[in-house]
């Protein structure tokens, strides 16, 4: 006999990351492919611009773990070379050219840093809870400036960034709130460090603006959680009744809970091949098309 939920019982906290929340916001169908369908649909080939980003992020994290006297631009360049990810490029020649480009931008960036100005955290996991969500994520770098913390996020994309990008970022705001709670220090400032141009896009949040972002995260979580719960109820029943291990076909009423949001981003979606609406929204992209000219 099925047990009915008791009225007035507290809702289960929705465990998530900012990336999971943003995926739901950008496209619920992609959210289902990434987080709900098991096995998950096969992704497309790796993207070269992601390889550049991960290589640079890993090198910067490793740079701060080096002894003080080795925190030099030359070391940063060497770390890029050692950890270079060559996936998604047109050929070995293009990969080598971008490796050298990544070495140059990373070395140039660390030349602007004070190697003795030890961060509070590098690739630091932070977390926070509200009455609705249990959210966690990893901050690229967490600085201390005076009595306050500053969230630093590295960017390697081709598009220059603005203060509005920093202001509107749900992830950065959530990281600021979570960092403050974990470290027991105020955190209002968030920064996007764009390595290709050497520029910094920054924003100084208020308590009120951080609260608005957190409330928005909760609203997104409620929507995603309701759809996920209904998916799990269907999936559990379907798999129990299934005679073999073939993944059950998602029925229309469940698929409708995760509607696609066709748009320009569809050309860059890892699950594009499984989404007719996404294919109709834009043309195919080659794995290296995201690289700057």
What pLDDT, on a 0 to 100 scale, did the predictor assign at position 236?
A: 83
Say if residue 104 is in the same domain as residue 152.
no
CA-to-CA separations, 159 to 77, 95, 170, 293, in angstroms, rounded: 23, 20, 19, 11
Domain count across the chain: 2
Please provide the distance, in angstroms rounded to a whole number, between the alpha carbons at the two ends of the chain.
Answer: 63
Out of 84, 112, 140, a domain closes at 112
Please indicate, yes or no, whether residues 151 and 103 belong to a single structural domain of this protein: no
What average pLDDT does the segment 93-118 reach? 97
61 and 101 co-located in one domain: yes
pLDDT value of position 248: 76
Residues 194, 143 share a domain? yes
Confidence band of 2 (pLDDT split at 50, 70, 90): very low
CATH code of the domain containing 150: 3.90.320.10
In a domain, 97, yes or no: yes
128 shares its domain with 204: yes
How many CB atoms neighbour CB 117 within 10 A? 9
Domain shared by 157 and 135, yes or no:
yes
Instruction: Residue 17: count other Cβ atoms within 10 Å of its Cβ.
Output: 15
Per-residue pLDDT tens for 35-59? 999 999 999 999 999 999 999 999 9
Collapse the DSSP code of 263 into the 3-class scheme (helix H, G, I; strand E, B; otherwise coil) and give the result: coil
The pLDDT of residue 65: 97
**Of 165, 196, 211, which one is at a domain's C-terminal end?**
211
How far is residue 174's CA from residue 176's CA, in Å, rounded to a whole number? 5
pLDDT surpasses 70 at 246? no
Q: Note whether 149 and 175 are same-domain residues.
A: yes
Residue 174: which domain range?
121-211
Asked whether residue 108 falls in the same domain as residue 136, the answer is no
Average pLDDT (222-235) is: 96
Does residue 132 sit in the same domain as residue 67? Answer: no
As a whole number, the mean pLDDT across the chain is: 94
Least confident stretch, 38-52, 152-166, 226-240: 226-240
Residues 106 and 131 in one domain: no
Q: Is residue 260 one of the residues assigned to a domain?
A: no
Of 80, 112, 144, the one marking the end of a domain is 112
């Amino acid at each position: 006999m099925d047990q009915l939920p008791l009225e007035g019982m507290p809702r289960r906290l929705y465990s998530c990351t900012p990336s999971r929340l943003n995926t739901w916001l950008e496209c619920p169908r992609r959210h289902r492919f990434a987080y709900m369908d098991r096995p998950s649909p096969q992704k497309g080939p790796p993207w070269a611009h992601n390889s550049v980003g991960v290589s640079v992020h890993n090198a910067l994290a490793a740079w701060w773990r080096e002894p003080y006297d080795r925190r030099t631009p030359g070391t940063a360049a060497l770390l890029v070379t050692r950890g270079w990810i060559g996936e998604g490029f047109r050929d070995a020649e293009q990969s080598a050219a971008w490796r050298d480009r990544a070495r140059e931008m990373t070395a140039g960036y660390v030349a602007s840093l004070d190697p003795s100005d030890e961060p509070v955290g590098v690739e630091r996991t932070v977390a926070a809870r509200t009455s609705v969500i249990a959210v966690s994520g990893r901050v690229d770098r967490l600085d201390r400036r005076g009595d306050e913390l500053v969230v630093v996020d590295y960017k390697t994309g081709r598009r220059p960034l603005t203060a509005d990008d920093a202001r509107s970022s749900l992830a950065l705001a959530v990281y600021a709130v979570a960092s403050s709670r974990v470290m027991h220090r105020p955190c209002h400032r968030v920064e996007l460090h764009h390595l290709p141009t050497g520029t910094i896009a920054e924003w100084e949040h208020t308590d009120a603006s951080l609260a608005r972002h957190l409330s928005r995260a909760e609203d997104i979580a409620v929507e995603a959680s309701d759809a996920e719960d209904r998916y799990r109820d269907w999936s559990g029943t379907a798999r129990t009744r299934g005679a073999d291990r073939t993944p059950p076909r998602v029925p229309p009423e469940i698929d409708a809970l995760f509607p696609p949001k066709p748009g320009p981003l569809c050309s860059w979606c890892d699950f594009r091949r499984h989404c007719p609406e996404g294919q109709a929204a834009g043309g195919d992209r080659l794995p290296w098309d995201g690289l700057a000219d």
